[in-house]
Amino acid sequence: MAEDGASAMAAAPSPLSVDKPVLIDAAMSYFSARPRFAIYLKGLENEITLKTPAELGGLKSPTYLKMNPQGKMPILILPASDGRVIPESEVITQYILDRYAASGSGPAPALSTVDERLTENLLKRLLDTYVCVNIGAFYTTLEADQRLAKLVELRKQVGILDGYVKAAPYAAGEFSSADIAMFPAFVFVKRISALTCGWEDVFKGCPNLAKWWATITQHPVAQKLQSEMESGMSESTIEPWLTASGALSQFKNTEFEWKLC
């Protein structure tokens, strides 16, 4: 039994001894970009070190799996004095915003109104539960008909999300953790859908998301993040894994209507 709440939360102690927090992430990863967004907002580039999974032997290496049995990134490895490893992009992001609340800029710890806080939470919940689970359809190993079904579902879920976006001016009204969560996911979807299926506009028929996008892409930290993610997603970088998963050859099969927007 855990001795206190903190150790109960830390399912996986770190096998690494670090003197500063380390975020394990990759430039193109839309989940990793979420805490990176928080790091840049808070000006923590010198406080939190960024490392790639490869530097720890990869996501499925014994060392990594000891820290996150899910074998997924991002994780935040806390200093040896603490010893915990925090998994899950949203939890890491909230931890950074909370722990470093007094630093840099960023969303208010709590948005001004009940309605804004409700929207912030709902957008993140819908994003993670229904949108992000379908993004893998662009690149994971799937039969072509399953791939197409997931892409159709993705379009549907983006449309549902649109119905809750306020775009006044940000997703929940004021700038919030909903913007931090949504922005990297849509940078990724826009880029990979253009490169694979020739999608012209994932926000077609989604006026609120389109309006929100016009605002969020003016944010300097969002611009930095977008540029990093897009540089990490050059055709030459993504082609090997699209080829290995069979996605690339399926997208060339014109029996399927891949261009959904």
Ligand X SMILES: N[C@@H](CCC(=O)N[C@@H](CS)C(=O)NCC(=O)O)C(=O)O
Backbone torsions φ then ψ of 20, nearest 5 degrees: -130, 155
Binding test (CB under 6 A) with ligand X, winner from 12, 31, 67, 219: 31
Shortest reach from residue 112's CB to ligand X, in Å: 27
Residue 125 structure tokens: 């919940």
Q: By CB under 6 A, which span of 83-91, 94-102, 144-152, 207-215 interacts with ligand X?
A: 83-91
Shortest reach from residue 26's CB to ligand X, in Å: 7
Query: Residue by residue, what is the 3-state secondary structure of the chain?
Result: CCCCHHHHHCCCECCCCCCCCEEECCCCCCCCHHHHHHHHHHCCCCCCEEECHHHHCCCCCHHHHHHCCCCCCCEEECCCCCCEEEECHHHHHHHHHHHCCCCCCCCCCCCCCHHHHHHHHHHHHHHHHHHHHHHHHHCCCCCHHHHHHHHHHHHHHHHHHHCCCCCCCECEEECCHHHHHHHHHHHHHHHHHHHHCCCCCCCCCCHHHHHHHHHHCCCHHHHHHHHHHHHHCCHHHHHHHHHHCCHHHHHCCCCCCCCCC
Shortest reach from residue 214's CB to ligand X, in Å: 26
Shortest reach from residue 15's CB to ligand X, in Å: 19
Sites for ligand X among residues 110-139 (CB under 6 A): none
Considering only CA atoms, give the Rg of the chain.
19
Q: By CB under 6 A, which span of 29-37, 100-108, 189-197, 207-215 interacts with ligand X?
A: 29-37
CA nearest to 72, candidates 7, 132, 20, 126: 132
User: Is residue 36 a contact point for ligand X (CB under 6 A)?
Assistant: no
Shortest reach from residue 168's CB to ligand X, in Å: 26
Shortest reach from residue 58's CB to ligand X, in Å: 10
**Residue placing its CB nearer to ligand X in the complex, 33 or 167:** 33
User: Is residue 93 a contact point for ligand X (CB under 6 A)?
Assistant: no
User: Is residue 73 a contact point for ligand X (CB under 6 A)?
Assistant: yes
Binding test (CB under 6 A) with ligand X, winner from 12, 21, 88, 139: 88
User: Is residue 29 a contact point for ligand X (CB under 6 A)?
Assistant: yes
Q: By CB under 6 A, which span of 85-93, 117-125, 164-172, 252-260 interacts with ligand X?
A: 85-93
Contact 116, 173 (CB under 8 A): yes
Binding test (CB under 6 A) with ligand X, winner from 14, 36, 44, 72: 72
**Residue placing its CB nearer to ligand X in the complex, 33 or 202:** 33
Sites for ligand X among residues 136-195 (CB under 6 A): none
Binding test (CB under 6 A) with ligand X, winner from 50, 59, 133, 152: 59
Binding test (CB under 6 A) with ligand X, winner from 23, 30, 189, 221: 30
CA nearest to 260, candidates 210, 202, 207: 202
For ligand X, the binding residues (CB under 6 A) are 29-31, 59, 71-74, 88-90
